[in-house]
Amino acid sequence: MKPFDYLLCQIELEGIQRVADDLIARTSSDTNDFPLVLLARTSDGQVLICFDNLLPLDLRNQFSEDALKSFNTELIIEVLKRSGIPAKVSHFKTYIFPDSYEATCADTVKCLSNYLKTL
């Protein structure tokens, strides 16, 4: 599997379903911290940019493509706040998969969250 495929599997495990190239939806109603904008980059450089499918199209069109591709979260937050949506940046995670993931145990997958930055 390629890193992008692992990413898609992981977001699905976290309750996020990709419903179109740039849209995501909740897989259950109890997803409290569902991302309004999901930005991810894989180790091979592929970028995933998705919006909550409940965000109106006119709001999604206000996001700068450059801000999204450069992961400029300040500009993204500014657009949401101008629209009356309180937002914050959260859930920075890094996943490390072994090279031969298919042939290994899932215990070897590591998730590094942003709380590790304070250690």
pLDDT digits (tens, 9 = 90+) for 48-71: 999 999 999 999 999 999 999 999
Residue in the block written with tokens 């215990």: 107
Give per-residue pLDDT as tens, 6-44: 888 888 888 889 999 899 998 877 656 788 999 988 888
- The total domain count for the chain is 1
DSSP β-ladder status, 16-20 and 110-113: unpaired
Whether 106 is covered by a domain: the verdict is no
Task: Please report whether residue 14 resides in a domain.
Answer: yes
What residues make up the domain containing 56? 3-91
pTM value? 0.74
Mean pLDDT of the chain: 81
Classify residue 51: in a domain, yes or no. yes
Non-local CB neighbours of 71 within 8 Å, separated by 6+ positions: 39, 41
For residue 114, being part of any structural domain is answered with no
Residue 110 lies in a domain: no
Q: Within a domain: residue 62?
A: yes
